Amino acid sequence: MPTYISNSSHYTEVLSRVLNVKHSLWIGTADIKDLYIEIGNEKKPFLALVAQLIRKGVEVRLIHAKEPGQNFREDFDKYPTLYDRLERVLCPRVHFKILVFDCKEVYVGSANLTGAGIGMKAETTRNFEAGILTDDPTIVEQAMNQFDEVWMGKHCKKCKRRDFCADPIV
């Protein structure tokens, strides 16, 4: 049954799912910034959690539309596991926001992977976001198919933005 997700629920309902991923995490976002998450009593960069998942054998795929800012890059550089084992694709046409948890549950919504979008910002500095979180097999499959089409470069050869693509897939 789909769950409607509003502002603060993005952090509590969606990002909390990342903590429990066992096999795979697919992340699609237009924008990505230095997002923080609570792990136990500590606030850590989201990338620390991603690196931890990868070290445990979780497959993590990330599609994003543009290169992240300096703070994100500095956090990224703290986790060498990410250099070799984070699967990443840059596509300037990506605008979807999709997180797929273990191929069983999916978030589809408006929130980018940023503090103001899905992260630990206060209610007074958070974006107004909406989305759904569901384990409905039909919706999960459709979201995964859309993600996978971009991941595999299905649209690359006919893309009218290819001249702006820093990392053509095909």
Count Cβ atoms below 10 Å from residue 164 Cβ, excluding itself.
Answer: 10
Residues sharing a CB contact under 8 Å with residue 160, sequence separation 6 or more, in sequence order: none
Q: Which of 38-42, 159-163, 166-170 has the lowest mean pLDDT?
A: 166-170
- In 10-125, where do the E strands start and end? 24-29, 36-39, 42-45, 59-64, 87-90, 97-101, 105-109
Over residues 140-145, mean pLDDT: 98
User: Is 90 exceeded by the pLDDT of residue 137?
Assistant: yes
More confident residue, 113 or 143: 143
Average pLDDT over the chain, rounded to an integer: 89
Quick one: pLDDT at residue 161?
77
Confidence of residue 167 (pLDDT cuts 50, 70, 90): confident
User: Is 80 exceeded by the pLDDT of residue 109?
Assistant: yes
pLDDT in tens, 22-73: 999 999 999 998 888 888 888 889 999 999 999 999 999 999 998 888 888 8
The whole-angstrom separation of Cα 138 and Cα 53 is 26
User: Is 70 exceeded by the pLDDT of residue 14?
Assistant: yes
Quick one: pLDDT at residue 97?
96
Handedness of CA 116, 110, 146, 68 (dihedral sign): negative
Quick one: pLDDT at residue 124?
78
**Stated pTM of the model:** 0.91
**CA 86 to chain CA mean position, Å:** 12
